[in-house]
Chain A
């Protein structure tokens, strides 16, 4: 970022010198500023790419527990041994069978779509419970 600002500063100064009649300084200034801007953009792009990659790697896999009878839904972090259609016991709301309905990679935009009723019981392990009743 510093290189970028400094490059623009050099460019500005060379334009000022050109107005004062120093043509040679203008050319040198332009060349140096272009190199500087190029280098700055290249490193900024690399940094941005790395940041996006880190963000992608940071995504978590979620498991959705669902009750077909009362539509009780619980979203939690994936645990080893989880698989889609696995029966995991009784529903806490209606006592019928609860099973894993979906396993997917966390969508960062998800919190925007607020469900009907959401309660978090385990903030440290990301557990979202949705009950449509």
Chain B
């Protein structure tokens, strides 16, 4: 069947054929679209971008509802509340924190730290109120779950705000900026949905690799709570007296490792040979998950208050600060722990071993801190 036959049969919509003026139609269409794009090109692009953004907003709204429903289901299952927790959960999902004024930045860290403590306590007590039957571990997991719902709600509200604002003002550049960051925002939202499932079941997440490594060094040792949600144990490590610390598990906790390191250094009158911090860190695209790198500095994320305390204390006593990171993506960090990350545990311990051997002497006291969320990881 030749093209002519196809055209005559009308399979291409009656285009072509010996008697048709297809050439004229095509060239007229070309001229018309050329003129159309000269005058309305940006408008057409704006509509396309708005159309794309509206699709993403619908997806974000669905994710937000999904996370909220999962949170409500888990609260009802674990907490057995007498009243309907929906309205209280709605108000928790709109919770916010006003950062302290930074016109005069000196002394801002303690202020921020105080506000974070207040927020954490308030959040925890609110979660306990809506889930009265939940134990401490479950309250921590539920708190994490509510945080995920809050994050998804915030993402949805912000994206919708810029979408509607751009639509209202027909601002091409506002929508352009939104469209440019949307793939990354969607990636983060999808990761948060994965996190909500892990938190509802109490499964270890990728970020927990630091506490997981340290928990292996704590097995069979006497543990004590040194600060809010932080557990320490003393152990012998390559002939050194190692003080190992991690967030208290198996509930979802990151604890306050800054305070813990400060207390340990004070208890030992500054006689600490080195501090090794182990944490999950974001990998670059193209890098393998579970790869381990070694460096200098405080390997700890978050808003910066804990990092500040560790840096301040170690610099005060001139204690060398080493970092070991396990590479993973943002999605891998908050979704159930991948096998590659779990397999990195032994390699990371070997890395710590060689780092300690090279940089301290036998009999020295050292600190090994596993940083991260210890959900699903006991001690």
Chain A residues in contact with chain B, CB under 8 A?
A: 10, 13-14, 16-17, 20, 22, 24-25, 28-29, 32, 61, 78, 80-86, 102-107, 110
Contact = CB atoms under 8 A, between A and B. Distances in A.
B106 interface: no
A13 B6 contact: yes
Contacts of A103: 203-204, 336-337, 342, 376
A104 B342 contact: yes
Contacts of B345: 102
Contacts of A61: 201, 203, 336
Contacts of B204: 83-84, 103-104
Q: Which of A16, A24, A103 has the most CB of B within 10 A?
A: A103
Given A24-B16, A28-B3, A85-B379, A105 B22 contact: no
Contacts, number: 88
A17 B339 contact: no
Interface residues of B, number: 33
B12 A17 contact: no
B320 interface: no
A105 B250 contact: no
Nearest to B15: A28
Given A22-B4, A103-B376, A85 B215 contact: yes
B105 interface: no
A102 B336 contact: no
Nearest to A64: B342
B377 to A, nearest CB: 5
Contacts of B376: 82-84, 103
B23 interface: yes
28 contacts: A10-B3, A13-B2, A16-B2, A17-B4, A20-B2, A24-B23, A25-B3, A25-B4, A25-B16, A28-B3, A80-B201, A80-B202, A83-B250, A84-B212, A84-B215, A84-B249, A84-B250, A85-B378, A85-B379, A86-B250, A102-B345, A103-B204, A103-B337, A104-B204, A104-B339, A104-B341, A105-B335, A105-B339
